[in-house]
Amino acid sequence: MKKIISLVLVSVLGGAITLASYKLFIEKEQPAFSKTQDSSNYAIPVSHSNANYFPENAIDFTNAAENTVHSVVHVMNTSFGTSDRITFQDLIFGRSAQRPQVGSGSGVIISPDGYIITNNHVIDGANKLTVTLNDNKTYDAELIGTDSRTDIALIKINPEEDLPYSTFGDSDQAKIGEWVLAVGNPFNLTSTVTAGIISAKSRDLSGGKFNQSFIQTDAAVNPGNSGGALVNSRGELIGINTAISSQTGSYIGYSFAVPSNIARKVVEDIIEFGNVQNGVLGVTGGALNNAISEKLSINETQGFYVDSVEEGSGADKAGIQSGDIIKKIDNIDITKFSDLSGYLNTKRPGDDVQVTILRDNNIKTIQATLVRNQSFTIPQFGVLKNANANELKKYGVSSGVKIAQLGEAYAKYLRANNVNEGNIIISINNEKVKDVDDVQEIIKNRSPYEPLRIELINSNGELEKYNFR
């Protein structure tokens, strides 16, 4: 009996010690929960921290997004095209087969008085342009000018009061890996903001056929975003969203924007001169890589290799030579052709640039003055260049452009009629030409259905006229 009582006492004492230890050391470490009357309800933890709080160095896009959405507009393009389908009612009632076709895109207000930058392909072929602001006000827009080469267009509305607008940033200072916002109207969804980083710069999608130099991002861009804003975390406009790379027509990971420095220069030229002023260095060649360097027996694998220099060009006058490797222009590294062409697209004739070249393993910096374009290619005819005074005098004319190279399609026929390289073209489509800028403007404004009429002085000094389709 005594043993049983002793065992009970020991058990009670052990339990008391265990309970006291639990209360003292373990229970205090457990979080306290308030028990609700309905045990079936489950309380999900919610953070009540200040929504405006950001850790140090965190990127805050809220101000950039708020400012940009009010400067991005919806652009509607209405054109009239012939429908392939004529209805029974059209035949009975004599209605026209012309059908209104409506396209849409985006644009960015760049001045308080209503100048708007967008893409050329957004407004191309428009019979009527309509702009809707973020506050749902709608205006008719006037086309001020376009540049199909860079896919930039400038339009204008006449608002009753000053408008919110985006300010241009310096796209040359944008860095790969930098956060950016794309703002536009994809699928007619207004004021859409997406975020991403700059994936690459000076991206050429044409394979070197055109002077393209896009900013590549992974911010989602879809049909309708074209002409919208690409801004940095400060809300500065660093690009105009232009294209996506996709087999489906919708975003699959990459988008492309015209750099703001190029876009700004284009609209400034349109406003000041009525057309785009292109500054030309006057070199031909290509970007280096390992295979090309081996073929040329040189050690450099980055830079622009100068194959030839155009006579009378800025490069020629500055002393740049065939075989030079352009490494920099105005401290902009040149590793591929789109680096070179993209930077030159921000310059005008008469601008000076500092060209850093590698020649005979020595680095040298040369100042070159850019000039107007010295040549222009008409696909049906050939390459045309500006003629000097002696060349014009030889053919007894005061103005015109010379034939630098005949195109393969008609070369045999033209030579049989005494038309050769060096002959002078004096007019195209009944408009007198004095330089290749005139030629470019005539070709640009020519209807695709209009024949090409060329008036020239042949090798015998005879005036001849030719029509090309």
Active-site residue set: 121, 151, 226
**Helix runs in 108-157, H state only:** 120-123
Round to whole Å and give the CA distance between 335 and 355: 13
Report the sign of the C-alpha dihedral through residues 271, 274, 275, 276, in that order.
negative
Answer for the pair 100, 78: CB distance below 8 angstroms, yes or no: yes
Q: Which two tokens stand for residue 179?
A: 């956060």
Write out the H or E segment, with its range, that includes residue 287. Answer: strand 283-287
Backbone angles phi, psi at 147, to 5 degrees: -140, 100
Round to whole Å and give the CA distance between 264 and 229: 13
Q: Which two tokens stand for residue 441?
A: 């403007």
* Percent composition of the chain: helix, strand, coil (DSSP 3-state, to 5): 25, 35, 45
Backbone angles phi, psi at 22, to 5 degrees: -60, -45
CA-based nearest residue to 401, from 377, 370, 379, 380? 377
Answer for the pair 183, 228: CB distance below 8 angstroms, yes or no: yes
Write out the H or E segment, with its range, that includes residue 466. Answer: strand 463-468
Answer for the pair 165, 112: CB distance below 8 angstroms, yes or no: yes
Backbone angles phi, psi at 154, to 5 degrees: -125, 125
Backbone angles phi, psi at 144, to 5 degrees: -90, -45
CA-based nearest residue to 417, from 380, 465, 449? 465
Q: Which two tokens stand for residue 228?
A: 């919208």
> Any idea what DSSP says for residue 22?
I
CA-based nearest residue to 240, from 225, 257, 254, 223? 257
Contacts of 458 (CB under 8 A, 6+ apart): 417, 418, 419, 420, 423, 464
Contacts of 398 (CB under 8 A, 6+ apart): 392
Alpha-carbon dihedral angle through residues 299, 303, 308, 309, given to the nearest 10 degrees:
-130
